[in-house]
Structure 1
Amino acid sequence: MAKIILLFPPYWTPAMPHLALPALSSYLRAHGVEVIQRDLNLEVFERVLTRDYLTQSMARLRDLARRGAGPGTAVPPERLRWALAEGAKLAAQVEAAVAVIRSPAFLDGPTGLQAFLTIVQSLEVASLPFHPAALDLLSYTPPAPVDSSRSLLQAVRAEQRNMFLEIFRRGILPDIVREKPDIVGISIPTEGQMLAGMTLAHLVKQSGLPCHVTVGGPHITMLRQQLPKAPALFKLIDSAVAFEGEEPLLRLAEAVTGQGGLAAVPNLIWRDGAAVRVNGPHPQPLSSQNWPDFDGLPIVRYLAPYPVLPLLTAHGCYHGDCAFCNVGYGRAGHFMPLKSAQVVAQMLALQRKYGIRHIFFADEAMTPRSMREMSALLSAQGSPIQWCGCMRFEKAITADLLQAMSAAGCRMILFGLETASERMIELMDKGTKRETMGRILKESTAAGIWNHTFFFFGFPTETMADAQDTVNFVYAHGDAIHSASPGEFVLERYSPVQQRPRDFGVRRIIERPEKDLAIYFDYELESGLDDQMAKTITERLLDVLPGKRFGQYYAQDTYRLLYAAYLHEHGRPLPGWLVAEADGT
């Protein structure tokens, strides 16, 4: 049978693995395919956060300081001076800082904060030679637009701007050449991974290795109609897979080893000589027995004090109607829940196999029914695992359910608040009520669960009064919201707003020909806050937030989960997001 190397490129959080490769590996291995999975996102962070790499970065920066740089690419002088002054100290400290973040010492506030700041600053020093590109703990900013195929094709070869070229050449590429796979599969869930993913494809092709290079993942799925119109990209890849990759990759493995043709692989977009072919789909029900397989991933090396693994309770979203959301990527009716007993069995199996005590459910939204069933099953096992996940503000979420979830190990719930304006809730098709949202936040806090909320400003036709409703709600529940992610509305491909703009007060969606790989669009509104005003509201809200002495725990979801679990274990209260901290907190 075929050999497949599955690769997960940056950027993603380096604090826990993504579920994509373990899910694919499990399915393929169960069907006899030899699979090697590599989390290159983690490997890039591991390479960059070393004394050796920062020393090399300093040499590059000194060279830049001597000779200058081309127009539009020069490192800002004040940042260059800072890096040259601080870089040697950071290089000496960075490996110890990584060791702290990988240990329980990270949960000691002052110790964890110092390590976190060292890593943040070290990443800036490492990125500066490739300015304007920037890699940090929360994102990657590419040196050029990746929503343009022309720009992307240039960036994958840009030695002076693409930091991944050298890292991949010295790291993963020799391993790929040595393994001689039949297929190299690159998972690209987000736009932020597009440059690194396509750089990998470019290097594999450039090596002359006789293998089939394919890409897949949610971002590729969103581009399924655009890729055939950008044939130059197929100089880097042989094919792309839309939607779920399990069955297509298995059929692709058969095809490349002479057991079928590419035309029979479902949801495949592939190069056929000078042409690009698009295969039709067929139903692909995913078996609930297809448990993710993390073998081959370095579970203990992620940048977190305890390993956290992702799981699902369902595929898709049971609501699926929110106007701003593109869940399903234009495919309707895609919700497949797993049986609660099977989910709990997976949790316990992961605990036994890897010794983990924390699970992050990556669902769009977990159902109240599954939470009730899972909580009973976990409590019967002594609640051995601490976990979190996303939920909707449903009336069915009662105080009793939240108490049961907490007793079963739930330490954090991530809620899609979005807005507290009743008019906007209805326009967004959220299906929630402000009164219910407030009740659940209070009852969840009473149960000892950390509440994280997402909300945004600037949905079409939103007024200042609507935005004020949201701000007022957040402040009114400041002691029941423990962290939040405020932001601005983005118009995304395959969302109801993009599909039916007039229904939501969008006069015109601006599609720029040069942005042939765009998934986000500028737009003109009939009325309401424009994007700049929405950004201003967000910034002003953030500007007046009370400071947090140990902000490292608020930086991203994995750290929030582990911090909430730490507070619970030590019997300490949950700090309100809008509540000023007393000294010693």
Structure 2
Amino acid sequence: LPTLTAYRRGHGLTVTQRALNIEVFDEVLSRRHIEGAVARLRAHYGPRGDRRPPRPIAAPREQVAWALAHGAQVAAQVEQAKRIVRSPAFFDGPKGLKAITVIDEALRIASLPFYPAALELTTYRPAMTADSSRNILREVRDPHFNMLLEIYRRGVLKDIERQRPDVVGISIPSMAQMVPGLTIAALIKERGLPCHVTVGGPHITMLRERIARCPALFSLIDSAVVFDGEEPLLRLCEALDAGGDLSAVPNLIYRDGETIRVTERKEPAKIGALPQPDFDGLPLDRYLAPELALPLLTARGCYFGKCAFCNVGYGEPTFSLMRTEMLASQMLDLHRRYGVRQIFFSDEALTPRTLRELSQIMQRDGTPVLWGGCARFEKPLTAELLQQVYAGGGRMFLFGLETASEAIMRRMVKGTTLENMHRILRESAEAGIWNHTFFFFGFPGETLEDAQQTVNFLYEHQEHIHSAAFGTFLLEVDAPAHKYPQSFGISEVIEHPEKDLAIYFDYRVSEGMDDKLAERVADSFLEALPEKRYPQYYVNDVYRFLYACHLSRIGQRPPPWLVPEPVGAAD
């Protein structure tokens, strides 16, 4: 969003950017809102929570009873909890844990009147799956399930009515944002506001072929911008200003009378030709984090781009790399303008060249910014380079481990070796860098023996891995495994007609574990994990990254993930 804003402001357009996630959490995590949710539960379910409510689906009785019993206490504590999470006090283990617990409880109470929809700290879960246009069209207007309707009507919708913009652009980066994003669109159309509503973002791009076959969605929106949006969105604004002929706007899906039209794809701009992201106007002090961490990109696309499970680039080669001097200049400018001390690179994978050059520049110039991002287990990541990365401000790497079975690594075209994985995890940890790993079970052809090799590898490196995210294989649209299923041991891809906006698909394999067995393996691994004394630092990537930076500033090394923590451990 800040890059789109910078591009349009640079061409003379007036742009207001809003981070509605921040605004929604700020509204919900307030004493007034939680007290209102408790009052609504009492009105619907009775003072003891045992009455049948006047809504299609009732929340579990024990959850309602808990909310009624504890709601007043949570409401009284929620604003203090929010202040703690936004302050250095979050790094005080017991205080931070108490604050996150209160926030989690407050979100559960706020969500219960709209059960089974739920607003959580890391996601929004709609009442119905967001891979169906029928579900979405119903839920964006349904006050029984959509808690955002009231919040948006009181907030952003009034501002749109007052400001009367020509274009409202809604970024939808993931499936979890489909209902929240399209709820705004539905309210604009319901109110009859004379603005062009367009959507974009990674999730919309993944759905580009399906959106073009889904005219019902265009009752909510006027157009969708797919792929990179800087020039297409600018051209859309210019076309609307000139009279409304959208046929020459690139990367656009739009309704023309009763017809849905798709315009020509334009090659994306190289990242070095784009302006520095512009965060002006965003309420950066209201993020639910103890310190500000801003995102940047060092490249667009993935320099490897061959993994069978991944749809980076949406199946097309689009990689471009920023000059490292330009990158370092942007980091320093963000530090000067916003006081930010942490930058998280949102790239798919930082190149070894960028790591080497950036750490040299940061060390040379003494830039007071710590940073982290994703990396691959590449041979050029030597012990010397990893030490240099730490000296140049690098504090966290997120590695795509995926599997430790060499047979499955070859099958998924991972392009890494066990030898490099062993070495880099050890040498990175020795350098003081926080190692986060991603892995999953159930890639087509994987056996229980293969999965056990991954588990064995993780425990062999329990001193060198500091956190992880794991799950099971997902067959994702545009990934090589989806485009060429037979080549990867998938005997059948199952598409459900009612899921007309799906990006994940059921499948059958010709050999190895099926998806249900893979889920049992993942569940068993989860159950065996040691508990963390202060799990609040592992809630999301931002908290982990800020915790890693905090520990480095006070001279402590990252705690191992798989090593049980003794009951008297220091904070």
TM-score (norm 2): 0.97
Give yes or no for the alignment of 1:361 onto 2:345. Answer: yes
Partner of 2:103: 119
Give yes or no for the alignment of 1:131 onto 2:111. Answer: no
Partner of 2:410: 426
- Taking a change above 3 Å as real, the CA distance of residues 410 and 154 of structure 1, as seen in their structure-2 partners, is same
Q: Is the 8 A contact 1:134 1:140 kept in 2?
A: yes
Query: Which residues in structure 2 correspond to 1:137-286 (within 5 Å)?
Result: 137-258=121-242, 261-286=245-270
Give yes or no for the alignment of 1:327 onto 2:281. Answer: no
Give yes or no for the alignment of 1:389 onto 2:373. Answer: yes
Q: Is the 8 A contact 1:183 1:212 kept in 2?
A: yes
CA distance in 2, matches of 1:60, 1:322: 49
Aligned to 1:461, the other structure's residue is in SS state coil
Partner of 2:64: 80
Give yes or no for the alignment of 1:33 onto 2:13. Answer: yes
Shift of residue 383, structure 1, vs aligned partner: 3.9
Partner of 1:536: 520
CA distance in 1, matches of 2:126, 2:339: 37
Give yes or no for the alignment of 1:42 onto 2:27. Answer: no
CA distance in 2, matches of 1:529, 1:85: 45
Partner of 1:104: 88
Aligned to 1:37, the other structure's residue is in SS state coil
Structure 1 range deviating more: 247-256 or 58-67: 58-67
- Partner of residue 309 from structure 1, selected from 294, 304, 307: 294
CA distance in 1, matches of 2:369, 2:539: 23
Partner of 2:471: 487
Q: Is the 8 A contact 1:415 1:453 kept in 2?
A: yes
Q: Is the 8 A contact 2:332 2:367 kept in 1?
A: no
**Which amino acid in the other structure matches residue 411 of structure 1?**
R
Runs ≥4 residues deviating over 6 A: none
Q: Share of identical aligned residues, percent?
A: 55
Structure 1 range deviating more: 280-289 or 340-349: 280-289
Give yes or no for the alignment of 1:456 onto 2:440. Answer: yes
The one-character-per-residue Cα deviations of 1:88-114 (angstroms, maximum 9, x if unpaired) are: 100000000000000000001111110
Partner of 2:426: 442
Structure 1 range deviating more: 278-287 or 439-448: 278-287
Shift of residue 364, structure 1, vs aligned partner: 0.2
Aligned to 1:80, the other structure's residue is in SS state helix
Q: Is the 8 A contact 2:44 2:54 kept in 1?
A: no
Partner of 2:41: 61
**Count of matched residue pairs:** 564
Q: Is the 8 A contact 1:383 1:407 kept in 2?
A: no
Aligned to 1:372, the other structure's residue is in SS state helix
**Which amino acid in the other structure matches residue 391 of structure 1?**
A
Q: Is the 8 A contact 2:309 2:481 kept in 1?
A: yes
Q: Which runs of 5+ in 1 are unaligned?
A: 1-20
CA distance in 2, matches of 1:515, 1:538: 26
Q: Is the 8 A contact 2:168 2:197 kept in 1?
A: yes
CA distance in 2, matches of 1:68, 1:47: 28
CA distance in 1, matches of 2:230, 2:397: 29
Shift of residue 326, structure 1, vs aligned partner: 0.5
CA distance in 1, matches of 2:54, 2:130: 21
Q: Which runs of 5+ in 2 are unaligned?
A: none
**Which amino acid in the other structure matches residue 43 of structure 1?**
E
**Could you say what the CA RMSD is over the residues aligned between the two structures, in angstroms?**
1.1
Shift of residue 261, structure 1, vs aligned partner: 2.2
The one-character-per-residue Cα deviations of 1:443-484 (angstroms, maximum 9, x if unpaired) are: 000100000000000110100000001000000000000001
Shift of residue 299, structure 1, vs aligned partner: 1.1
Partner of 2:532: 548
**Which amino acid in the other structure matches residue 134 of structure 2?**
R
Q: Is the 8 A contact 2:271 2:321 kept in 1?
A: no
Give yes or no for the alignment of 1:518 onto 2:502. Answer: yes
The one-character-per-residue Cα deviations of 1:104-135 (angstroms, maximum 9, x if unpaired) are: 00001111110011001111011111111111
Shift of residue 72, structure 1, vs aligned partner: 6.5
TM-score (norm 1): 0.95
**Which amino acid in the other structure matches residue 310 of structure 1?**
P
**Which amino acid in the other structure matches residue 469 of structure 1?**
Q
Shift of residue 259, structure 1, vs aligned partner: 6.3
CA distance in 1, matches of 2:234, 2:549: 39
CA distance in 2, matches of 1:127, 1:469: 41
